Amino acid sequence: MTELYDILANGNPNDPTSRIVRLLAQKGSLSAAQIATMTGLAKSTVSVALGQLRNSETVIPSSGPNETSKNAVGRPRASLSLNPQAGTCVGVQLLPQSIRTVAADVSHAVLAEREQQVRRDYSPEIACEAIGRMIDDMYGGLGLNRNTLLGIGVAFPGPVRPADGVIVRSSVLPDWEGLQMAKVFEAGLPYTVFGGNESNCSAIAEMTWGAAKGIDDFIFLKIDLGIGGAIVVDGRVYEGISGGGGEFGHISLDPKGELCRCGNRGCLELIGSLIPVMDTARIRFGKDLTVDEFIEHVDSGDAGCRRLVEDVADTVGTALAAIGTIFNPPLIVIGGRAAKLGSVYFDNLTNMYERHTLIKRRDTPSEFQTRIVPGTFAGNDSSLGAIGLVLQGTN
């Protein structure tokens, strides 16, 4: 446990042992040959490092896909993964009026989840108390020793500066601006804390467990009552110098448009999120609807609701085409509850993307086309992804 903690928290990222541990932490289960290919290390170097890691039981053989494949011919390649006994991690998502926590082991198995309501504009002290209580509850319920906890990853609703972990801005928790994530939490919790932006954490969840598993380059767009996003290059989130990379919701499309909560005008979030959809649905039905109730109306074929979805998908598809023209990514993952809107949403979005982007599907062999797919997680993606922050040792 101590060895794994040292490698994740303090290891030299260029050291072969550290690179292998970080790769297994991100990918789950791999063969020695796959590790050599993915790290670019010589097979002999990988073999020596794996020998040390297996002797210390940090890495163990696993029943991964390489061993269980029915199509395997001859001797199966042995899969290796981090020893689940080597430690546990907790992921935290800070929501406007609640805090969500997930506990997982280092082999990516989710062990427990909790959510606690808190008052709006809660302080760091209230957050620490709530997180501490939920950890005690989860670990007590599982009969797990808290000494196994390698670290806590916290998904924050706003950009976090990569160089020093300082919260740059947040419309959900404005009083937290200027605070340093690790200091805030380590003052109130006796654990190592890794902090990051919530959309970046969602992208890590999709990369580790979901729709982008095995894909090293993709664009993530989270569309819900707001729009966030992330840029993933070579298996890492590109954060930008101030942590604002991938904040696609605040691309200003109309300089004279409506005022956005970010202080700019005419942002994509105002016209392409589920906010304008729910506002119009409220007028149509004469009452407040939840997003899930609205999705039920769409699924049951309500013509007005389906038209609202088509219109907002057109708007997002056009904006996404601009993003696609910049990155030409192999994959675009749509997260948030928009991912649950089904074909009426994705067909229109994909058509508008095709119309406005530079590289057209119709001119491109299928293996080189940009795929646009719904994300796997609509609710707990950020708290799951925050576990990824710990496993990647990102601070």
User: Which residues are near Zn ion by CB under 5 A?
Assistant: 250, 260, 262, 264, 267
Backbone angles phi, psi at 394, to 5 degrees: -85, 130
Backbone angles phi, psi at 161, to 5 degrees: -70, 125
- The CA radius of gyration of the chain, in Å to the nearest whole number, is 22
Shortest distance (Å) from residue 371 CB to Zn ion:
28
- DSSP symbol at 48: H
Shortest distance (Å) from residue 268 CB to Zn ion:
8
Nearer to Zn ion, 110 or 253 (CB): 253
Shortest distance (Å) from residue 262 CB to Zn ion:
3
Shortest distance (Å) from residue 169 CB to Zn ion:
11
Q: Is the dihedral of CA 263, 266, 272, 275 positive or negative?
A: positive
Nearer to Zn ion, 39 or 264 (CB): 264
Backbone angles phi, psi at 38, to 5 degrees: -75, -35
Beta strands in the chain (DSSP E): 29-31, 59-62, 79-82, 88-94, 98-105, 110-117, 149-156, 193-197, 218-224, 226-233, 236-238, 331-335, 371-374
Nearer to Zn ion, 52 or 171 (CB): 171
Shortest distance (Å) from residue 133 CB to Zn ion:
34
For 6, residues 6+ apart whose C-beta sits below 8 A from its C-beta are: none
Shortest distance (Å) from residue 131 CB to Zn ion:
29
Nearer to Zn ion, 19 or 250 (CB): 250
Nearer to Zn ion, 260 or 289 (CB): 260
Shortest distance (Å) from residue 269 CB to Zn ion:
6
Nearer to Zn ion, 169 or 371 (CB): 169
Nearer to Zn ion, 264 or 280 (CB): 264
Contact 101, 85 (CB under 8 A): no
Nearer to Zn ion, 100 or 250 (CB): 250
- DSSP symbol at 123: -
Nearer to Zn ion, 248 or 377 (CB): 248
Which single residue is written with the structure tokens 């101590």? 2
Contact 96, 48 (CB under 8 A): no
For 29, residues 6+ apart whose C-beta sits below 8 A from its C-beta are: 62, 64, 65, 66, 79, 80, 81, 107
Shortest distance (Å) from residue 319 CB to Zn ion:
13
Shortest distance (Å) from residue 322 CB to Zn ion:
16
Shortest distance (Å) from residue 368 CB to Zn ion:
33
Q: Which residues pair with 223 in a beta bridge?
A: 227
Return the number of other C-beta atoms located less than 10 Å from residue 250's C-beta.
19
Listing DSSP states for 218-238 in one string gives EEEEEEESEEEEEEEETTEEE
Nearer to Zn ion, 27 or 250 (CB): 250
Name the 3-class secondary structure at 193: strand
Q: Provide the Cα torsion 333, 335, 338, 341; round to 10°.
A: 60
Name the 3-class secondary structure at 112: strand
